[in-house]
A and B are shown apart, each in its own frame.
With several copies, the nearest count.
Chain A
């Protein structure tokens, strides 16, 4: 399957979130989001999220964890717009309905056909050179195209780096635990550059737990997470 086709078929993070909420027959509110946070994390852990979309999935995970923390410990302050994720999900739901409309009409096969054509080659061809074409303009056009493809090439590069980063983090934690039997999650994230970085560590941790390479203990809710080596 080609790079694009693979991504085209994959459900986005909001789709997953909406399904989780609707399966529990909940309204879209902060309370509901807090309730499905664990399910979402379990999904992330189990599913093979395409590396290209991992960042978006992790972003939503980070926001869910924040909302859940607030629900459990109201003294934790939410960012300026507390209901942003709920609003975004409601908006997304509107367009899920719109997409269903589109799917229905598209599926009806009521196509308006264009006028049939005879193949171009059999038509009378008149050589009509345009005035704005020269070897220089062709060269510039091709250079421009290559420049426009730059972000596209870069995107593939970044995606690749993202996979590497989770795997590297796993290796990093594993190595660190070989040196000492126990460490805390805070130790791992001490050098974190961004929230995303923290979530990548968290995901690596989930993966290690799944593989039963580490044992994780959290004494109290939102207390320090302790990692122990499984010998």
Chain B
């Protein structure tokens, strides 16, 4: 039971209500608090990696506060330093072809880009918004990033018109709108 709860909390990534836990475990909600008590006693030790937080009828898995400094170092590493070549390419596609969807970016790069897009978002280089026509999020360069590049508008990028309207890429993107099988 304990291990099942940890697996649920881990994959959910957010606080899970006691009611929901009971439902998932096919147990009675009234039994859960006692189970959680034991779990907390077992998990939340001075040196354990993860803590079980019970608060206001919800449970969440977090890292042990003792490692707070290490953990903040992890997120700092993720958004610092130079861009890798795949990151730079993805950013270039978003700058020249915006507004562009993830499947479209992937058609051009020929590689899955989920993690890269997420990282560019976290660094504030790009922005995400919902597109009514494409029915999925589209990405554009952020204002902060344009300012950083020292250009007033994205169209001021070198070769903008040429790259933005390239016919062969346009044709490739038409196919990206076909849903994946």
Segment at the interface with B among A12-20, A30-38, A68-76, A214-222: A12-20
Bound Cα distance from A136 to B81, whole angstroms: 19
| A120:B150 contact, CB within 8 angstroms | no
A102 in the interface (beta carbon within 8 A): yes
Cβ–Cβ < 8 Å partners of B10 in chain A:
113, 115-116
CB-defined interface of A70-99 with B at 8 Å, one 1/0 digit per residue? 000000000111011101101110111011
Cβ–Cβ < 8 Å partners of B87 in chain A:
8
Bound Cα distance from A15 to B86, whole angstroms: 9
CB-defined interface of A116-134 with B at 8 Å, one 1/0 digit per residue? 1110110101111111111
Distance in Å: Cβ of B86 to nearest Cβ of chain A: 6
| B148:A3 contact, CB within 8 angstroms | no
Mostly, the A contact residues are helix
A10 in the interface (beta carbon within 8 A): yes
A190 in the interface (beta carbon within 8 A): no
Segment at the interface with B among A39-47, A52-60, A174-182: A52-60
Bound Cα distance from A229 to B10, whole angstroms: 74
Bound Cα distance from A123 to B78, whole angstroms: 14
A223 in the interface (beta carbon within 8 A): no
Bound Cα distance from A2 to B149, whole angstroms: 27
Given known contacts A8-B84, A117-B13, is B93 in contact with A142 (CB within 8 Å)? yes
Identify A114's interface contact among B62, B68, B111, B166, CB under 8 A: B62
| B74:A116 contact, CB within 8 angstroms | yes
Bound Cα distance from A84 to B176, whole angstroms: 5
B175 in the interface (beta carbon within 8 A): yes
| B89:A106 contact, CB within 8 angstroms | no
Most buried by B among A4, A52, A83, A134: A4
Q: Which residue of A lies closest to B63 (CB)?
A: A113
Bound Cα distance from A137 to B90, whole angstroms: 12
| B89:A144 contact, CB within 8 angstroms | yes
Bound Cα distance from A76 to B82, whole angstroms: 47
Segment at the interface with A among B18-26, B34-42, B151-159: B151-159
Given known contacts A81-B178, A137-B88, is B110 in contact with A14 (CB within 8 Å)? yes
Distance in Å: Cβ of A72 to nearest Cβ of chain B: 21
Task: Give the residues from 1 to 26 in chain B that come closer than 8 angstroms, CB to CB, to chain A.
Answer: 10-14
Bound Cα distance from A126 to B91, whole angstroms: 17
| A114:B147 contact, CB within 8 angstroms | yes
Identify B123's interface contact among A1, A59, A128, CB under 8 A: A128
Bound Cα distance from A184 to B135, whole angstroms: 47
Bound Cα distance from A131 to B123, whole angstroms: 13
Given known contacts A98-B159, A139-B159, is B84 in contact with A92 (CB within 8 Å)? no
Task: Give the residues from 135 to 181 in chain B that come closer than 8 angstroms, CB to CB, to chain A.
Answer: 142, 144-151, 157-159, 163, 166, 168-169, 172-173, 175-176, 178-179, 181
B92 in the interface (beta carbon within 8 A): yes
| B168:A88 contact, CB within 8 angstroms | no
Distance in Å: Cβ of A176 to nearest Cβ of chain B: 26
Cβ–Cβ < 8 Å partners of B69 in chain A:
109
Interface residues of A (CB under 8 A from B): 1-5, 7-15, 52-53, 55-56, 59-60, 62-63, 79-81, 83-85, 87-88, 90-92, 94-96, 98-99, 101-103, 105-106, 108-118, 120-121, 123, 125-139, 141-146, 148-149, 151-153, 155, 194-196
| With A99-B92, A116-B13, A153-B168 already in contact, 11 other A-B pairs whose C-beta atoms are closer than 8 Å | A8-B116, A84-B178, A99-B85, A111-B79, A112-B68, A112-B150, A113-B62, A126-B79, A127-B124, A127-B142, A131-B82
> What are the 10 A-B residue pairs with the smallest beta carbon separation, nearest first?
A116-B13, A110-B150, A127-B124, A112-B62, A110-B65, A141-B92, A98-B92, A12-B111, A91-B172, A14-B110
